[in-house]
A and B are shown apart, each in its own frame.
Chain A
Amino acid sequence: MAIEDDVLVIGGGLAGATAALTAVEEGVQVRLVTYKQSTLRHASGLIDILGYTPGGDGPIVDPFEALSALPEGHPYERVGTEAVRDALSFFDEIAGDAYAGGHTASNALVPTHGGTVKPTARYPVSTAAGLATVPKDTLLVGFETLTDFDAPLAASHLEAAGAPFEARGVTVAFPGIVRDDAKINRYAHLLDHEETVQAGAGETSAREALAATVDANLEDESRVGFPAILGDEHSDEVRADLEDALGVDVFEVPMGPPSLPGMRLEDLLYDALSDAGVRVTSGVPVIDYESDGDGAIDHVVVDRHGQEVPYRAEQYVLATGGLVGKGVRSERDRVFEPVFDCHVPHAAERYDWFVEDVFGEQPYARFGLVPDRELRPLDEDDEPEFSNLRAAGGVLGGYDYAAEKSGAGVSLATGYVAGGRAGTEASR
């Protein structure tokens, strides 16, 4: 017996979750299989559509306007601008109050932990009060034990970048943290659970102690930015309490990996999957497949610690990520996609996979599958590899998400299209 469903999505990141959520709307049974935790945990939690053109121009004000100029083969070109809009609305519905930015088609500018500003289409509500376009003087607060965020440096970068307000940074001790390398969820846990900490003369709750520490450093700034560690499960409550105590707006500055806003987005998506009745199998890899001999995939093989368990569906979506997520892998002499061995175009000579200039146009950044307009991966002869396989997100090639700031948008749009097609086909 195989474990049977109508649609099987392989990969549990933004693209995979979106594909599963879209497919299940067609009234079919959907399963999502994911191996290691997704690179969402590395992600800022921001939803970028397009921040810069592939040529490097930007920041772009209206991403949708820029989409039509993208070259053939770019994932956005494959699915079309309307699908990108629909996918974003679909995300807005799932995210509800947790995300802001839905009222405008323009990019917002969100300050990052390095003091740069990032053009993004949707942002967690926790970062909303910090937008760089809002002319409010800003105090950035860093912590001695959290070296990834140097608040004074980030503040001076913001000013140097021409932000329309004054920014000042201070570094303080986080009440209750002693370790030099405490984990970010240790900070979040202290605030979430209002743990008791030693502060000055006596004991007080972590939230109160933090507010008191910051209050002593607050001058006439009307908003305060913290690194994104303000709680996990109860982050809205933590932020509201700090705002009450300080009497100013409080926001989070997105951080590098590991990232709580990324984890909160992951939680949001997995709650949605569970509510929608998508079955999730995690912690085990899809390692192989059997074809039905007729150009379609019959079933895939999941390795459950030694047992090879067949999972069968009518339609499959591959959303295993790019080089970082290991949906695309490389060896010394080849670049390949490890589950179905779909075609990944690349130069035969390894030294042609990259250019000397680190920030130049790196060929490896665009490695991935080439899909048709239905997002079916194509083989060397431009024929679909399988009739019932679609691909979405980082596993697709033809775009450089890091340079374009388009990672989340491509995952949403291609996940939406691939999942929708898979769901429709399977419901026939």
Chain B
Amino acid sequence: MSDAEQPTDDHVPGDDEFEPIQVFPEAEKMDLRPGADNCYKCSTCDTNCPVAEVDDEFPGPKFQGPEQWRLKRQDDHDIDDSVMKCSNCMRCDSACPSEVPLSQMHNTARAEYVEENMSKFSREYWRNRMLSNYRQLAPLASAFPRTANFVMGLSVTQWMGEKVLGITSEREFPEFAKTTFREWWAKRGGNATSRERAQEARAERGAEVQSEEKRIAYFHGCYSNYNTTEVGKALVRVFERFGYEVMIPEQACSGTPMFANGMLDDARRAAETNVRELSAAIEDGADVIASCTSCSMSLRQEYPELFDFEGTESVAENTWEAVEYLRVHEDLEGELEGTRVDDASFAYHAPCHSRNQGLDGQTIEVMSAIDGVEAEDVGDSCSGISGTYGWKEENYETSMKIGEEMFEHMEDAEATTGLTECPTCSMQMEHGTGYEIQHTLQVLEAALVGTELEET
């Protein structure tokens, strides 16, 4: 368990620091009773839980969080195994009118369950470990992308995946890029080239050519490195156009799939690398930018809730979602005035993890500034895949039931191209509707840099 900061009733001016009262033994363990006591059982969180809505077996966030932590005051209570059915969408957090740190409770409960109640020899444990450590397998696959894509696409592989590992055969494995984003970046000349391009852009814009200010460290995450490399490239080109020098620090997985699977030790290892490398970049004057909303959520909220490495807070405070950063630091909408992308019409889905960062309306607002682009919001339902959740054989059906509302709304929308910032939401959107899916940054690239929108 972590000895990270305890939650407090936040955002109260003049609120005193929370002082824990040590009534119970083992107070060094993560103890969320103070937050649990804020729960007055209004059940609003339960009505926001996409899993509870379609799965009778799942008791909902109110039970998983505050009620379970109350039960845990008795030594003879184990964490309930239903916590593994929570998909970590974190919607309960913004639902709670009483500021109960629900997702933090779920993350720690899952970690405790996996640590103490799940057999390390079980198929489920190894399957979850493999899914959440996708990063470890991806380099191998991307070293031989053609072979990997071929093997992964074989029906025998999918059959084996389901029978042996419990990974649903309903889904097609994402294709691996022939050249990873990092390989592309290195071939392009790395940081030095980026500096040159940023300086050219600054000169063109009539700004100071030498600038220590305009520097970002890109947290590309696993998916845009190994799979959708166009998203990473789009980010680089868009930021360079605004005169930003891009750095690509060493990095591990953000940890999101690990939190969601209760693999807190794996997450801690990954987080330690990320905090170290990103802190160094911040000291070099960079802000951290992510293109995946689960990655930015993880660095901003989950790290400070779960870990206390040196620099955790500073990384959280200096991490931004890419479009948000441009809106706040540049006149993004002003720059987009007069740009044009032909025949681009999108059905937009806001990922849960952008929703709980207050970014759900952003893409629609920004897109409305580009001529020729129509983006229609398809509503506030969850896509249902939630990272590794929808990959598990036992969750597939639930995942598709949750997604049904989004599929229907996408089909009702005029567009036949989807738009979202989350790589796994995009898998689900494609899987449920057959639509091609783009990332907001790709549309910005098309408008600002003039690149054609490619097929993803």
Contacts and interface: CB of A to CB of B under 8 A. Distances in A.
A193 B52 CA distance: 15
B357 A193 contact: no
Interface in B41-76: 42-44, 46-49, 52-54, 56-57, 59-60, 63
B312 to A, nearest CB: 11
B215 interface: no
Smallest CB-CB A-B distances: 7 pairs: A284-B358, A305-B300, A283-B94, A183-B46, A283-B358, A258-B47, A306-B317
B330 to A, nearest CB: 7
Nearest to A177: B56
Contacts of B360: 282-283
Interface string A333-347: 000101001000000
A263 interface: yes
A17 interface: no
Given A186-B56, A189-B54, A279 B361 contact: yes
Given A37-B44, A324-B97, A181 B365 contact: no
Given A183-B46, A282-B358, 15 more contacts: A1-B329, A36-B95, A36-B96, A37-B97, A184-B43, A186-B54, A189-B53, A189-B54, A258-B47, A283-B355, A283-B356, A283-B358, A331-B12, A338-B11, A338-B13
Given A177-B56, A338-B12, A183 B47 contact: yes
Contacts of A185: 46-47, 52-53
Given A37-B44, A257-B42, A305-B357, A3 B53 contact: no
A285 interface: yes
A203 B127 CA distance: 34
Nearest to B46: A183
Given A36-B96, A282-B358, A283-B356, A186 B52 contact: yes
A281 interface: yes
Interface size class of A (residues with CB under 8 A): 35 or more
Contacts of B331: 1
Contacts of B297: 305
Interface string B316-327: 110110001001
B97 A182 contact: no
A355 interface: no
A70 B328 CA distance: 47
Interface string B407-449: 0000000000000000000000000000000000000000000
B124 interface: no
Nearest to B57: A179
B327 A257 contact: no
Contacts of B52: 183, 185-186
- Residue of A181, A274, A285, A305 with highest tally of chain B CB at under 10 A: A305
A80 B264 CA distance: 58
Contacts of B53: 183, 185-186, 189
Interface string A351-394: 00000000000000000000000000000000000000000000
B327 A1 contact: yes
B11 A285 contact: yes
A36 B42 contact: no
A341 B12 CA distance: 11
13 contacts: A36-B97, A37-B48, A181-B59, A181-B60, A186-B56, A233-B405, A279-B361, A285-B11, A306-B317, A306-B319, A307-B324, A325-B97, A331-B14
B11 A41 contact: no
Interface of A: 1-3, 35-37, 39, 41-42, 177-179, 181-186, 189, 193, 233, 257-258, 263, 274, 279-285, 287-288, 302-307, 309-310, 324-326, 329, 331, 336, 338, 341
A325 B42 CA distance: 12
A179 B59 CA distance: 8
Contacts of A1: 327-331
A274 B316 contact: no
A301 to B, nearest CB: 11
Nearest to B315: A306
B358 A193 contact: no
Contact of B11 (A42, A183, A287): A287
A306 B316 contact: yes
Contacts of B329: 1
A41 B327 contact: no
Interface in B365-402: 365, 377
Interface string B257-281: 0000000000000000000000000
Nearest to B52: A183
Contacts of A189: 53-54
Interface string B74-114: 00000000000000000000111101000000000000000
B301 interface: yes
Contacts of A283: 94, 355-358, 360
A35 B94 CA distance: 7
Contacts of B327: 1, 3
Which of A183, A233, A281, A338 gathers most chain B CB within 10 Å? A183
Contacts of B60: 181, 183
B44 to A, nearest CB: 5
Contacts of B96: 36
B97 A183 contact: no
A281 B358 contact: yes
B219 to A, nearest CB: 14
Given A3-B328, A284-B358, A309-B328, A257 B43 contact: yes
B404 interface: yes
Nearest to A274: B377
A281 B361 contact: yes
Contact of A183 (B43, B357, B361): B43
B137 to A, nearest CB: 30
B12 A329 contact: yes
Nearest to B54: A189
A186 B47 CA distance: 8
Name which of A42, A283, A329, A336 has the most chain B CB atoms within 10 A of its CB.
A283
B56 A42 contact: no
A41 B95 CA distance: 10
Given A1-B327, A279-B365, A306 B47 contact: no
B11 A182 contact: no
Given A193-B404, A325-B97, A258 B42 contact: yes
Interface string B342-373: 00000000000001111111000100000000
Contacts of B99: 36, 326
B361 A280 contact: yes
Nearest to B313: A306
A256 to B, nearest CB: 9
Contacts of B95: 36-37
B358 A304 contact: yes
Given A178-B56, A179-B59, A181-B59, A263 B47 contact: yes
Contacts of A306: 300-301, 304, 316-317, 319
A322 to B, nearest CB: 12
